Amino acid sequence: MIRFLFKGLIRDKHRSLLPLIVVALGVMLTVVFHSWLTGVISDSIEYNARFTTGHVKVMTMAYADNLDQMPNDLALLNADSLTVALKKQFPGMEWVERIHFAGLVDVPDRSGETRAQGNTIGFGIDLFTPGSAEIDRMNIRKSVVEGRLPKQNGEILISNELASDMKLKPGDTISLISSTMYGEMAIYNFTVAGTVVFGTSFLDRGTIIADIADVRQALNMEGASGEILGLSQKGYFDKNEATEIAAAFNRNYNKPADEFSPVMKTLMEQNNLGALVDYSSVILTVLVAVFLLAMSIVLWNAGLLGGLRRYGEFGMRLAIGEEKGHVYKTMIYESLLIGTFGSLAGVALGMVFAWYFQHYGLNLKGMMQNATIIMPTVFKARITPVTWFIGFIPGILSTLIGTMLSGIGIYKRQTAQLFKELEA
Amino acid sequence: MLMAFKLALRNLIGAGLRTWLNVIVLSFAFVVIIWHKGILDGWDRQARTDMISWEAGGGQYWQQNYDPYDPFTISDSHAPVTGTLQNMVGHGTLTPILITQGTIYPSGRMLSVLIKGIDPAQKILAIPSAMLDTASGDIPAIIGTSMAASSKLKTGDHVTLRWRDRNGAFDATEIRIAGIFKTNVPTVDGSQIWLPLSKLQQMMLMPGEATILVCKQRNESFPAAAGWKVKDLDFLLADMNNIIKSKTAGGMVLWGILMMLALLAIFDTQVLAIFRRQKEIGMYVAMGMTRRQVVALFTTEGAMHAVLATLLGAVYGIPLLALQAIRGISFPVSGSDYGISMAERLYPHYGIRLIIMTILIVMIATTIVSYWPARKIARMKPTDALRGKIQ
Amino acid sequence: MKLLLAILCLSISSAYAQYPDGKEILKKIDQNLSSDNRIFTSKMIIHGRRTSRTIESKTWTAGEKKSFTEYLFPAREQGTKMLKLDDQLWIYSPSTDRTIQIAGHMLRQSVMGSDLSYEDLMEDNRLLNHYNAVVTGAENVAGRPCWVVKLTAFDPNMAYQGLKLWVDKERNIPLKEEMYAKSGTLLKRSELSNVENINGRWYPKKIVFKDMLKDGEGTEFIIGNIQFNAAIPEYVFSKANLKK
């Protein structure tokens, strides 16, 4: 029977094509809407997670108290072994060590004396370990405007703005002046591999990005790091997951009496992002609900229309002896088929767009100076498990309801009248 | 044309449920777009107003060395206020602010702060400087709530402030927290304390000097003053404008999707209407209407959805949106945590221009989608159409 | 203003007529502590929040304006050299082979996390050149009778406009110093001990500094060998010497 209906649908384009297109488009819009909204709403959160807070972050308690001073003298001394333990105990997260530091960038003239100086805030991240996701995580690859990514130890990236202020070019040498973990003065030479623009002036004013191994050497931090970031393998912040992991970690490792014992904080406990996370999920739910309602009405209407246009055909079928119930049933089955295939096509199509927006984003320029929160300028969609099935709700359900309603007409009208509509 | 309009309306209403479903969806799109844009505009207005009243004033003069992003410039960024500028200060159209660096020691901790001196009698900025006007001998200071939280200081607390005067000599004294103010503008709050201007000038050995001067009104032309750079509102509010722009851009995509959804419904309806009403079309032509007139009729019918949606949207949208505009929307997120100005209660602003623009865009879009399938009519042979032969 | 100050000083000193003249004491202190030039090795013990650490260095100074320091320990710092001429400071780091000029504001920063700034460490100011002094009393410090001397800067550029010294009556060196802000707030305190007689002058070889506004245990500064009025060739205080 399904096969029969299927053939009918394929052969009679009028019965199938337009409704199918409408359902597919509707479902596609739903998928794109959901992924876009999820992406845009959580983008500032994820951006912060990738650059500063992680989904969870391990620091010493003393470091956490003075976070904005980047107090590397209060860093985690045994960060290496701690990271190994974290990877083993919580494999659901990716654990990365970072050193965040402040200092001066000093540019020498030909005789090695100071030619220019500028303030900098630096990130020591894992640039060179094969498989390290840090470069992509911080979107560094696409941020390079001049030169290239660092290829070997001793090479760094520097904000384009700072570089042009100090007339630096890729290949030039600079010295970083900072203080080591023990408070000594740290002077370390780097070669500029390339310059970067992140699009947020918070970072663009004067950032350098170096490999963590170099930074450790520069700041005398062998085996230590300021922060260990945990980022969920899921690719987005999961409140429950993060809270559970943080609680489990703190039970084992945190000793409130020792200010240098490690403490794990979730993203929600940092930079006051907690309220934003909660708020975002409420907004997301409300907007998706409104959209689903609207889309359901549209597809319901489409189902209704699809039924109406075939009243003539039903008249004929009733005239040649088919029962009303049977006509009604085939109609429902057909709408289910259309709903299913339309939804599948819609999800597939929507996912293509969603994927594109997730990977490449849409560059909607708008920079922020003076921000303590990092804001994105490229908006990106995000595909979550919900995105995969949310389109089926309006796609199948609404089509079905629409068809059911229009089908009632079959019972209400006389066969003769329906037959007449065939003439019409 | 009037006939086409009347006819279209009658046909549309006659279609009953189908029409109303489309109208409901279209009105949704309408209301949500206006609502969303209204929130952004409301935020924009509020943020601009706050920035102007707390920080930017009507524009500023900066001492030529002053660069707020380079802390090392601050010790060299002060100059006597003389000539035209002094006259303007005298007339109350400018207020000077002296900015220096210092360290406070709340309970043995060290905190670097910006010290800002402001005239207690000034009326240009919303900083409650009047609280600094005390007769008692000690040095009063006011701080913002976020500074109070990070330094753990309360009203009435005393704290040691250490600074170096213009010669580099250390000086330190106890200051008394005379008041704590709440502001949506984080750039006048975090890591800074406000002192009476004359006191700070005295402390720094910089009598009559200032770092920036804040104008009262938005000036069209700022009198030039040697050694001072003019920073107009466009410059001072650039960050804010950029955030709003970026939010609007992100929202635009959502509006687009919402519109496409509504238009999809109308498109579908139009296609069906033209399919089912071929006989009718044939009849119109037979009765002497030109095909273009028939196309116009069907297009009008489709576009009429937008008219009805406007009406329907108005019926439930106006009370809903008006209520929000009056009561405001409560935001659990305080913007000052993010370095941007954001009030905890936001009042959406629905400008006439915004509403008219939205209506126009929806109308035009609807008309286009209605016209598109209707073009088919123009290619029909009336005789075939009459018999319902063309599909 | 100066006249007024002089009258004030005079009237105060007459009130404390039984005490010696402040200026005389300063002169004697300067004779002990200051010299045209000196060469010394020193050890600085910095008590941080987490660990204490030691830095050893050798310093050459001449007059009030010139100073040259070479770091000897720890290994990481070894060979790092600093040259200060007037308000300018250069640092040479051997690992990078760079001579870096440190801007004026850095001079006021703490040296390697200690309670001392570069200024504190590298300046050898003769008290007499910058301060007026009045003896205000007599107290015992570490079991030794001392004059309590109040110093007020007449040079507005001095970082500490007020000093209070407890000067050993017999040996004419301070055993305790307090540094005050202009308004009178106590900023730092140092205690001087291990007084030795070197070539006829008394010299404290250990100083403990403490920032009084901040929690913490302070910084110890211990002098090893010290040589006064040695023949220091002029090239020591040249930038060329940094790279040697």
Are the Cβ atoms of C181 and B72 closer than 8 angstroms?
no
Instruction: Supply the pLDDT for residue A380.
Output: 74
- CATH number for C108: 2.50.20.10
Same domain, B267 and B375: yes
Instruction: Supply the pLDDT for residue C184.
Output: 87
Alpha helix stretches (DSSP H) within chain B: 2-14, 17-51, 83-90, 145-151, 197-204, 233-236, 238-276, 278-286, 291-327, 352-378, 382-387
Instruction: Supply the pLDDT for residue C5.
Output: 53
Partners of residue B172 in chain C, C-beta under 8 Å: 181, 183, 185, 187, 213
Reply yes or no on whether the pLDDT at B115 is more than 90. Answer: yes
Number of domains composing chain C: 1
Please indicate if any CB of chain C lies within 8 Å of the CB of B174.
yes
Reply yes or no on whether the pLDDT at A326 is more than 70. Answer: yes
Using 50, 70 and 90 to split pLDDT, how confident is the model at A375? very low
Instruction: Supply the pLDDT for residue A374.
Output: 41
Pairing state between β B329-330 and A207-211: unpaired
Reply yes or no on whether the pLDDT at C124 is more than 90. Answer: no
Distance CA A107, CA A130 (A): 31
Pairing state between β A173-179 and B329-330: unpaired
Distance CA A161, CA A144 (A): 12
Q: What is the pLDDT of residues B227-255, one digit of tens each?
A: 999 988 888 887 677 667 767 777 777 78
Structure tokens at B382: 């009336």
Instruction: Supply the pLDDT for residue A377.
Output: 53
Give the C-alpha distances (Å, rounded to integers) separating B65 from B72, B76, B192, B229.
10, 7, 20, 9
Instruction: Supply the pLDDT for residue C56.
Output: 92
On whether the CB atoms of residues C193 and C222 are closer than 8 A, the answer is no
Instruction: Supply the pLDDT for residue A419.
Output: 58
Using 50, 70 and 90 to split pLDDT, how confident is the model at A32? confident
Reply yes or no on whether the pLDDT at A264 is more than 90. Answer: yes
On whether the CB atoms of residues B101 and B71 are closer than 8 A, the answer is yes
For residue C42, give every residue at least 6 positions away whose Cβ sits within 8 Å of its Cβ, in sequence order, or none: C56, C57, C58, C59, C221, C222, C223, C224
Same domain, B285 and B172: no
Provide mean pLDDT across the span A15-37.
83
On whether the CB atoms of residues A87 and A259 are closer than 8 A, the answer is no
Using 50, 70 and 90 to split pLDDT, how confident is the model at A1? low
Same domain, A221 and A84: yes
Q: Is position A374 within any domain?
A: yes
Distance CA C110, CA C118 (A): 7
Q: Is position A249 within any domain?
A: no
Same domain, A6 and A139: no
For residue B353, give every residue at least 6 positions away whose Cβ sits within 8 Å of its Cβ, in sequence order, or none: none
Using 50, 70 and 90 to split pLDDT, how confident is the model at A373? very low
Q: What is the pLDDT of residues A142-182, one digit of tens each?
A: 788 899 999 999 999 999 988 998 899 999 999 998 888 88
Identify the domain containing residue B21 by its residue range.
2-53+239-387
Domain boundary (B210, B231, B252) is at: B231
Same domain, B69 and B215: yes
Tell me phi and psi for residue A23, to 5 degrees: -60, -45
Q: What is the pLDDT of residues A178-212, one digit of tens each?
A: 888 887 788 899 999 999 987 666 677 789 999 99
On whether the CB atoms of residues B61 and B94 are closer than 8 A, the answer is yes
Are the Cβ atoms of C185 and B173 closer than 8 angstroms?
yes
Same domain, A183 and A281: no
Reply yes or no on whether the pLDDT at A77 is more than 60. Answer: yes
Which of the two residues, A160 and A317, has the higher pLDDT score?
A160
Same domain, A197 and A77: yes
Structure tokens at C96: 């990078």
Distance of CA A394 to the CA centre of its chain: 25
Give the C-alpha distances (Å, rounded to integers) separating C42 from B229, B255, B257, C58, C151.
49, 71, 73, 6, 27
Size of chain C, expressed as the number of residues it contains? 244
Number of domains composing chain A: 2
Instruction: Supply the pLDDT for residue B150.
Output: 78
Structure tokens at B369: 């989608």
Provide mean pLDDT across the span A238-262.
92
Same domain, A414 and A294: yes
Q: Is position A166 within any domain?
A: yes
Which of the two residues, B376 and A193, has the higher pLDDT score?
A193
Number of domains composing chain B: 2
Partners of residue A73 in chain C, C-beta under 8 Å: 48-50, 113
B-to-C residue pairs, Cβ atoms closer than 8 angstroms: 58
| Start-to-end CA span in chain C (Å) | 49
Ranked by mean pLDDT, which of B19-23, B144-148, B373-377, C207-211 comes out on top? C207-211
Identify the domain containing residue C70 by its residue range.
2-242
Same domain, A280 and A411: yes
On whether the CB atoms of residues C151 and C166 are closer than 8 A, the answer is no
Q: What is the pLDDT of residues A353-369, one digit of tens each?
A: 888 888 777 665 443 33
Same domain, A13 and A61: no
Instruction: Supply the pLDDT for residue A371.
Output: 39
Q: Is position A252 within any domain?
A: no
Mean pLDDT score of chain A, rounded to an integer? 83
Nearest in space to A225 (alpha carbons), one of A134, A105, A91, A107? A134
Same domain, B119 and B222: yes
Same domain, A67 and A34: no
Identify the domain containing residue A33 by its residue range.
2-46+276-423
Partners of residue A117 in chain C, C-beta under 8 Å: 101, 103
| Percentage of chain B exceeding pLDDT 90 | 22
On whether the CB atoms of residues A347 and A392 are closer than 8 A, the answer is yes
In which region does residue A108 sit, left (phi positive, over 0), alpha (psi from -120 to 50) or beta (all else)? beta
Instruction: Supply the pLDDT for residue A304.
Output: 72
Amino acid, res. C31: Q
Reply yes or no on whether the pLDDT at B9 is more than 80. Answer: no
Query: How large is the angle between the packed helices A2-11 and A324-359, nearest 10 degrees?
Result: 70
Instruction: Supply the pLDDT for residue B10.
Output: 74
Are the Cβ atoms of A106 and C98 closer than 8 angstroms?
yes
Same domain, B26 and B162: no
Please indicate if any CB of chain C lies within 8 Å of the CB of B17.
no
Which of the two residues, A392 and C115, has the higher pLDDT score?
A392
Instruction: Supply the pLDDT for residue A414.
Output: 65
Q: What is the pLDDT of residues B15-74, one digit of tens each?
A: 667 778 778 888 888 888 888 788 778 877 887 888 889 998 889 999 999 988 777 778
Give the ipTM.
0.78
Same domain, A342 and A395: yes
| CA Rg value for chain B | 32
Same domain, A214 and A84: yes
Distance CA C19, CA C145 (A): 13
Same domain, A293 and A413: yes
Same domain, B359 and B381: yes
On whether the CB atoms of residues A194 and A170 are closer than 8 A, the answer is yes
Reply yes or no on whether the pLDDT at C1 is more than 80. Answer: no
Tell me phi and psi for residue B334, to 5 degrees: -90, 125
Q: Is position A263 within any domain?
A: no
Give the C-alpha distances (Å, rounded to integers) separating B97 from A35, B75, B85, B181, B278.
48, 14, 13, 18, 77
Same domain, A332 and A394: yes
Tell me phi and psi for residue C97, to 5 degrees: 50, 45
Structure tokens at C97: 């082979």
Degrees, nearest 5: CA angle A104-A108-A112: 125
Reply yes or no on whether the pLDDT at A124 is more than 80. Answer: yes
| CA Rg value for chain A | 30
Reply yes or no on whether the pLDDT at C46 is more than 80. Answer: yes
Structure tokens at A345: 């096509």
Are the Cβ atoms of A175 and C96 closer than 8 angstroms?
yes
| Closest residue in chain C to residue B101, using alpha carbons only | C105
Q: Is position A258 within any domain?
A: no
Distance CA C227, CA A38 (A): 73
Q: Subunits with at least 3 CB pairs below 8 A relative to chain A?
A: B, C
Amino acid, res. B175: I
